[in-house]
A and B are shown apart, each in its own frame.
Chain A
Amino acid sequence: MSKFNPNNVTPTTYSVDCFLCGALITDSKNTIVYVNNYFESHLLWKPDELVGQNINKILTKSSRIFFQSYLIPTVLHEKKSEEMQLIIFNGQGRKTPMTINAQINEEGLVFWSLFNATKQDQLYDELIKTREKLEEQAEKLKSLAATDELTGLLNRREMNYRSGLLLDQSLRSKQTIALLVIDIDDFKIINDTFGHLEGDRVLKELGQVLKNFGRQTDLISRYGGEEFLIMLPDTDKKGAVLFCNRLHTLIATVLVNDNPVTVSIGLTISNNAKSFLDLFTQADNAVYEAKARGKNRTQLYGDKGHL
């Protein structure tokens, strides 16, 4: 056997048919003008089935859209395109994923090289599935980490975080916001008299009342034991007081031993620059005042009388 000499290599000895990849040439109208032997030996097309036909013949419907909207524009604009993945039909109508490179010459002929990407495609599928699963899990965990388990409302951590954002946004757009601290009256008595399960039911039902009544943009949370915190964006004093009055009526539909549950509400309205902590302290002081004045009422921070 003679030693390999590159000078002996002639086009008649070795041709593009020797490579384990498809080679295809199209003209400026996307008509196929040449295919190498790979199309016959591996993709089971007869050359006369392809030459003279539009390249669409071997592309699946989705690949045609990719071909038109991405591949051809890229080739025309950049003069080449590399590592595109498309799906083509073989001569028997079977779909095969292919990695495709292409370049265009000055006459407008496009030279395509196609490589079987069946295994690579499986790998991509697995990676995509993993990514989707991770995204789904992350979303679930994020929601769990933000939600109070018993009531389904925002928990304290999430409320602190979102209140800060909402407050900043309101300050920027010069809108007033209202903050309400709602505390269930005599909750300890409910727990001690009727048991913790009954206490949990009250918390749950009250949470549902708040959720149903609030607007989509309101932040509604269970902030601690029997304490709920609500932030109402774009709400002035008049609107907030109406909201509180309505809440007292709605909450009274929650019954314990046939008696309506009552709450004390501390209310404050933001004006100019205030931190969330400042606002919370005001509303918290107001709720203590509401309790001191006999419960089952709303107290506006800084207001001498009750509402």
Chain B
Amino acid sequence: MLNSETIKSRNNVKIIGSGPKTLLFGHGFGCDQNMWRFLTPYLETQFRIVLFDYVGSGNSDISQYDKQRYKKLEGYALDVIEVCTALELSDLVFVGHSVSGMIGALAAFERPDLISKLIMVCPSPCFLNFPPDYQGGFDKEDLQELLSLMDKNYIGWADYLAPLVVGNANSAELIGELSGSFCSTDPVIAKNFAEATFFSDYRFLLKKIKQPTLILQSQDDALADVSVGEYVKQEIETSSLIVITAQGHCLQMTHPEIVSESIINYIQ
């Protein structure tokens, strides 16, 4: 059994801001808690904010990485539960970007006492296409090719990975601003996380989520189409969807004002 201090340092937990409500932020694949740094200034005056890195990402304790545990998103959801337990958090709002939307849903289903609301930024329960009922956006072959490209470019790639995905409108200005967000990741761990992310299918989970859920989707996102957001909305009974006029997969970095406003309105 790991004690709370071990978990806080294992997951590089940081607490900022103050307020009656606590927000727990879960980052997406290929990055770490840094990806929230444009958003938190808008929220820290009203909320207590807990940031962390999943084991294997950012400044987490990589020696605690267990290939078996993190083969599936359940392993990452256990990180969320353990961080909550270590900090004695309950009744919190979990804000998850991309794959963390589903990780948060898994944790919320497992421990409804800990998580009372979910906010998903560009989530996808399943990246694979299952025609004709579901279009996740990718055929299996596409995703296998993506993992193979990660392997073939792994020298360099994992040291210099821009948060997936800034979008087509890649102005030099935006990239310059995001340069501090390039994440150095262990390539083997990154690939394992990629496999857990891109080959998972958690559509079955959505109907079981009873917490109020806000879905923020980008209008033009290479990874999660608007129709995926609509699917999530339709499956989670207690959810609402906001489609943001934007390009790219990282709304919290490219459009922090709109994202923070949506979060504040939703929680209030």
State the A residues within 8 Å of B (CB).
Answer: 28, 30, 54, 56, 60-66, 68-70, 72-74, 76-77, 83-87, 108, 121, 124-125, 128, 173, 175, 217, 233-234
CB-based contact B152/A121 at 8 Å: yes
Bound-state Cα–Cα, A73 to B166, Å: 9
In the complex, besides A28-B171, A68-B168, A69-B30, 20 extra interface pairs with C-beta distance below 8 angstroms are: A30-B170, A56-B168, A62-B142, A62-B149, A65-B164, A65-B165, A66-B149, A66-B153, A69-B161, A69-B164, A70-B153, A72-B175, A76-B172, A76-B175, A77-B176, A77-B179, A84-B153, A86-B149, A128-B151, A173-B3
Bound-state Cα–Cα, A302 to B161, Å: 58
Partner of B6, one of A54, A84, A173: A173
Bound-state Cα–Cα, A79 to B156, Å: 15
Residue-by-residue, is B132-153 near A (CB-CB < 8 Å gives 1, otherwise 0)?
0000001000110110110111
Bound-state Cα–Cα, A66 to B152, Å: 12
- Given A70-B157, A173-B3, are A85 and B166 neighbors across the interface (CB < 8 Å)? no
- Given A65-B222, A217-B1, are A70 and B160 neighbors across the interface (CB < 8 Å)? yes
CB-based contact A62/B143 at 8 Å: yes
Residue of A nearest to B158 (CB): A70
State the B residues within 8 Å of A (CB).
Answer: 1, 3, 5-6, 30, 138, 142-143, 145-146, 148-149, 151-153, 156-157, 160-168, 170-172, 175-176, 178-179, 182, 222-223
A-B contact count (CB 8 A): 90
Instruction: Tell me which residues across on chain A come within 8 A of B176, comparing CB atoms.
Output: 76-77
- Distance in angstroms from B174 CB to nearest chain A CB is 9
CB-based contact A73/B142 at 8 Å: no
CB-based contact B166/A68 at 8 Å: yes
Bound-state Cα–Cα, A173 to B2, Å: 9
- Given A60-B145, A62-B149, are A77 and B1 neighbors across the interface (CB < 8 Å)? no
- Distance in angstroms from A207 CB to nearest chain B CB is 21
- Distance in angstroms from B258 CB to nearest chain A CB is 21
Partner of B222, one of A54, A64, A84, A121: A64
Bound-state Cα–Cα, A217 to B82, Å: 15
CB-based contact A65/B223 at 8 Å: yes
Bound-state Cα–Cα, A76 to B161, Å: 13
The 10 closest A-B CB pairs, nearest first, are A62-B146, A73-B162, A62-B145, A76-B175, A61-B142, A234-B1, A68-B165, A85-B152, A173-B3, A69-B164
- Distance in angstroms from B100 CB to nearest chain A CB is 17
CB-based contact B178/A73 at 8 Å: yes
Instruction: Tell me which residues across on chain B come within 8 A of A108, comparing CB atoms.
Output: 172
Residue of A nearest to B247 (CB): A68
Bound-state Cα–Cα, A279 to B162, Å: 51
- Distance in angstroms from A243 CB to nearest chain B CB is 14
Instruction: Tell me which residues across on chain A come within 8 A of B151, comparing CB atoms.
Output: 124, 128
Instruction: Tell me which residues across on chain B come within 8 A of A175, comparing CB atoms.
Output: 1, 3
CB-based contact A76/B222 at 8 Å: no
Bound-state Cα–Cα, A45 to B11, Å: 50
Bound-state Cα–Cα, A248 to B165, Å: 58
Bound-state Cα–Cα, A128 to B165, Å: 26
Residue of A nearest to B178 (CB): A73
- Distance in angstroms from A129 CB to nearest chain B CB is 10
Partner of A69, one of B1, B148, B166, B179: B166
19 contacts between A and B (CB under 8 A): A60-B145, A61-B145, A62-B143, A63-B145, A65-B223, A69-B30, A69-B164, A69-B166, A70-B160, A72-B170, A72-B175, A73-B162, A73-B170, A74-B160, A77-B176, A83-B156, A125-B148, A175-B3, A234-B1
Instruction: Tell me which residues across on chain A come within 8 A of B182, comparing CB atoms.
Output: 73, 77
Bound-state Cα–Cα, A61 to B129, Å: 13
Instruction: Tell me which residues across on chain A come within 8 A of B5, comparing CB atoms.
Output: 173
Residue of B nearest to A60 (CB): B145
CB-based contact B1/A233 at 8 Å: yes
CB-based contact A70/B148 at 8 Å: no
CB-based contact A70/B161 at 8 Å: yes
CB-based contact A68/B149 at 8 Å: no
Instruction: Tell me which residues across on chain A come within 8 A of B222, comparing CB atoms.
Output: 64-65, 68
Bound-state Cα–Cα, A217 to B69, Å: 13
CB-based contact A69/B142 at 8 Å: no
Bound-state Cα–Cα, A72 to B164, Å: 12
Instruction: Tell me which residues across on chain A come within 8 A of B148, comparing CB atoms.
Output: 62, 125, 128
Instruction: Tell me which residues across on chain B come within 8 A of A77, comparing CB atoms.
Output: 175-176, 179, 182
